[in-house]
Amino acid sequence: MSKVKIADEKTDLRRGIDHIGVSVCSVIHDGNGRILLMKRGPEARDENGCWDICGGAVEFGESIDEAVKREVHEELCAKPIEIDFVTAYDAHREHDGNKTHWVALVHVVKVDPGRVRIGEPHKISEIGWFTKDTLPEPRHSQFDKSFSQILPLGIVK
């Protein structure tokens, strides 16, 4: 009888590549019409130098709300004041020559802007608050999918 390997980033079972990954994505806002974007640093998994929303994989055994709270805290050192689910979509991309498939669970998350700072400087090189007319370039390939869904909500001016 063969042994089953525990999956991690270094085995042949990789999230989003060997099986569908599930991620939580959070459009962070201040309640005053601005959203926070993060510039992906040199050690981010992919799309380095692109501006993106907060997000990451849901860990085994973790609830979706727990994953949102954890990712916001890890990346931005802040606690969510409000969390609202918006939509889900399939994210099909290519990374390092591999086709990837993630299910993205998009949320809007209100935070206190005075508490926000970079929590993962190896993955995030810069953060900034923006309106829909001041969005920076270049943006992550999946940004428009999330942003188009939150525009009708009126959280960004």
Taking the domains of the chain in order of start, what are their residue ranges? 22-152
Question: Does residue 17 register a pLDDT over 70?
Answer: no
Determine the pLDDT at residue 78. Answer: 98
Higher pLDDT residue, 38 or 1?
Answer: 38
Whether 88 and 104 have beta carbons less than 8 Å apart is answered as yes
Average pLDDT of span 33-41? 98
Q: Are 37 and 51 contacting, i.e. CB atoms less than 8 angstroms apart?
A: yes
CATH 3.90.79.10 fits 22-152, yes or no: yes
Helices (H), the chain: 64-76, 143-150
Distance CA 3, CA 75 (A): 36
